[in-house]
């Protein structure tokens, strides 16, 4: 009984991590256009444009670094390993997952 409870808890932790990664990945879809935005805006000088652009690049790099850290930490690695093992053991009948079938998916609190 305890083993089943531990397994359920591990699955719940993995699902929460996958949800967080998915939410962050979706938010970052517009990262490159946002990063390039200072290049199309009017600035008082080329130096100001360069400074604004470099700030947007640094902000984007920080977000990507945060995402990479989440993707490669122990919790995520275990979640991906669990999913790979499950697919290997039971390859048939795995339906494609679509986020639009789950409207609450983007709510990180649920």
69-104 pLDDT, tens digit each: 999 999 999 999 988 898 888 888 777 778 778 777
The H or E element that residue 94 is part of is none
Please tell me whether residue 85 adopts helix, strand or coil conformation: helix
- Reported as a single tens digit per residue, the pLDDT across 16-49 is 998 899 889 988 888 999 999 999 999 999 999 9
| Residue 93 to residue 86: CA distance in whole angstroms | 12
Q: Rounded to a whole number, what is the largest CA-CA distance in the chain?
A: 68
CA 12 to CA 6: how far, in whole Å? Answer: 10
């Amino acid at each position: 009984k305890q083993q089943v409870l531990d397994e359920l808890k591990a699955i719940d932790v993995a699902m929460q991590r996958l949800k967080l990664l998915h939410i962050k990945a979706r938010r970052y879809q517009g990262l490159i256009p946002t990063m390039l935005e200072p290049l199309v805006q009017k600035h008082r000088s080329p130096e100001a444009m360069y400074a604004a652009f470099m700030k947007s690049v640094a902000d984007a790099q920080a977000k990507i670094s945060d995402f990479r850290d989440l993707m490669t930490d122990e919790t995520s690695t275990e979640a991906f390993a669990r999913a790979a093992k499950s697919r290997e053991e039971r390859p048939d009948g795995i339906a494609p997952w679509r986020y639009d079938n789950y409207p609450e998916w983007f709510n990180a609190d649920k």
